[in-house]
Copies of this chain bind each other. A is one copy, B any other.
Amino acid sequence: MKKILNDPNQVLQDMTEGLAAAYPNELKQLSGTTVIAKKDAPIANKVGIVSGGGSGHEPAHAGYVGKGMLDAAVAGEVFTSPAPDQVFEAIKAADSGSGVLLVIKNYTGDVLNFEMAQELAEAEGITVDKVIVKDDVAAGDQPSRRGIAGTIFVHKIAGAKAEKGRSLEEVKAAAEKTIQNVRSMGMALSPCTVPAAGEPSFQLDENEMEIGIGIHGESGIERKEIATANDIANELTEKVLNDFDFTGEAAVMVNGLGSTPEMELYIVNKKVQAILAEKGINVYKTFVGEYMTSLEMAGCSVTLLKLDDELKTLLDEPSHAPAFRI
């Protein structure tokens, strides 16, 4: 394992402190926690938006804290759900009395711990609601699907709606519409290594790739010979298109999983755009970069979000989050 670390068991604290230290005018770390919040949170008369999960997905989620997106993000150990008391601290930091929406990726631990935190908060009189993101078309029926890169669009849309001073119910409805309209599919050329484990979570031969991997070092649904960028773009995009009717306008995200050069993401994007043009899907906005990573995994995912007028407007609203400035 070659990593730039101090102590493999100290990465969560080192990372959150280093992130807060990078943006001292915009973010704060809640003392004694792994919660990063807006410097001026809670914001009066605004629904608070809270997300989080295991670390190792940077810039998710703390990089998305800022005006127009999240009010607070809570990080667990690498690929491990944050404990309910930490999520509870994030909720308290985000609540100004207008209620808090939790954006949860669909993993058993995350759902359980965020729901326990919701109960703790409600017991103290805070109004909390939640949405669960399940955009990964790789495996399973919709209710059991994982949340991956599409989660960033949910942050953006919910954050923009909340910024407009809308009610918790209205913010939740916009987030739910986003979840209904977003699909993702990923692949990897190499696995990743959790620092405290010291060994990669699976092995791939020099000529192999894995289709349908998750973002927690899980192996995928199919292992096959490595294909061209065009074939990879085609396979990922087709799986997404076959799962939902994207006729009309869409936003595209070509997301790097950690160690894929941006050059390669642009090569994939070229083909994704060509496929969508051929299908008559109008691309309103494209995002290429590392948005939801899996440590140093090599690979990428393709996300499509079907847009209507409301979602387009909300997508275009300003965001001041360090990792998503518009």
Contact = CB atoms under 8 A, between A and B. Distances in A.
Nearest to A323: B289
Interface residues of A, number: 59
Chain A's interface: helix, strand, loop or mixed, by majority? mixed
A57 B80 CA distance: 33
Nearest to A287: B22
A89 interface: no
Nearest to A10: B267
Given A2-B206, A267-B15, A261 B56 contact: yes
Copies in the complex: 2
Interface in A278-320: 286-290, 293, 295-296, 298-300
Contacts of A133: none
Contacts of A2: 189-190, 206, 209, 226, 298
Q: Which of A2, A232, A261, A295 has the most CB of B within 10 A?
A: A261
Interface in A1-52: 2-6, 11, 14-19, 21-23
Contact of A263 (B56, B228, B268, B286): B56
A15 B266 contact: yes
Contacts of A262: 58-59, 63, 290, 293
Contacts of A300: 4
Contact of A18 (B232, B270, B290, B323): B270
B264 A5 contact: yes
